Amino acid sequence: MFKDKKVIVTGGGRGLGLAIVKAFLEQEAKVGIITRSEKTAKALVELQAQLLTRKESNNPHIMVADATKKEEIQAAIDGFVQEFNGLDILVYCAGVLRQGFILEETEQDWDKIFDLHLKGALFAMQCAVPVMKENNQGAIINLSSLAGQIPRLKLAAYGSAKAALEQLTRIAALEFAPYGITVNAIAPGPVETDLLQQYKRDNPGALKKLIHGDLDSFHIGIPTRRISTEEEVAHGTLFLASEKSRNITGQVLKVDGGQSTL
């Protein structure tokens, strides 16, 4: 379904982003990975041989850029477009988790979270959409989080930034619909990645409560009684990027085991 489609995944070097990259490569898409650190980029090069690339010519294109710096993202996207002659799909998956109570929140930490989860998504769209417009088609998928919809303790900045990202997604869907470009978001519940490892370290015991429910914090828990896999989030992303979802735009697809049904 994605053979020779040109895809960029920001934050595609690890975790959910890498699972999404692998899923697109499986379908023979041409994939560009934007990662922030040289360390992840180097690890990716070493991993390339195992990256499910059945054909050597279909190795992912690795780019190092900070998603919060527009000139770096512009250069990365321009480079990819030049190399592959276009861009069909953008997945904005760069993210970090930072926790803290509201009264302890610093301006610097607040700004960092909003810069990455919200302003970075804006920059990526600003760089990608002019290219997509030329072909009158495209799909953009932004990685949100259930924390953007359900209030969680110590996630004021992260949850608020994700909520704003979902509204940016809906407004972008309106603005870009005339150009044949869909814009949707995926809101996963917890998924086992480095980001969740950090959450577990900072909140011992919280994941068990989150899965099984807890009157004080997580209410019903996760009805399916398990967290999602990276692959399940990737499948949702590929659906929103596919021809089958061409008339779905401005939506948020939750991949959460029914956690949000309460």
Contact between 36 and ligand NAP (CB under 6 A)? yes
CA distance 147 to 24: 26
Residue 32 or 190: which CB sits closer to ligand NAP?
Answer: 190
CA distance 87 to 69: 20
Q: Report the amino acid identity of residue 62.
A: I
CA distance 169 to 36: 23
Report the nearest approach of ligand NAP to the CB of residue 114 (Å): 12
Choose among 98, 83, 88: nearest CA to 162. Answer: 98
CA distance 105 to 79: 38
- Alpha carbon distance, N-terminus to C-terminus of the chain: 35
Contact between 259 and ligand NAP (CB under 6 A)? no
CA distance 242 to 239: 5
Restricting to residues 80-119, name those near ligand NAP by CB under 6 A. Answer: 93-96, 116
CB burial readout 122-143, b (16+ within 10 A) else e: ebbbebbbebbeeeeebbbbbb
Residue 2 or 158: which CB sits closer to ligand NAP?
Answer: 158
Restricting to residues 47-76, name those near ligand NAP by CB under 6 A. Answer: 66-68
Contact between 20 and ligand NAP (CB under 6 A)? no
Of 71, 78, 194, 243, the residue at the interface with ligand NAP (CB under 6 A) is 194
CA distance 34 to 42: 12
Of 122, 150, 196, 207, the residue at the interface with ligand NAP (CB under 6 A) is 196
> Length of the chain in residues, anyone?
262
Helix (H, G, I), strand (E, B) or coil at 255: strand
Contact between 164 and ligand NAP (CB under 6 A)? no
Residue 42 or 133: which CB sits closer to ligand NAP?
Answer: 42
Where in the sequence numbering do the catalytic residues fall?
A: 158
Contact between 193 and ligand NAP (CB under 6 A)? yes
Contact between 77 and ligand NAP (CB under 6 A)? no
Of 8, 16, 87, 128, the residue at the interface with ligand NAP (CB under 6 A) is 16
Report the nearest approach of ligand NAP to the CB of residue 262 (Å): 18
How many degrees, rounded to 5, is the angle at CA 111 between CA 10 and CA 11? 10
Given the rule CB under 6 A, which residues bind ligand NAP? 10-11, 13-17, 34-37, 40, 66-68, 93-96, 116, 143, 145, 188, 190-191, 193-196
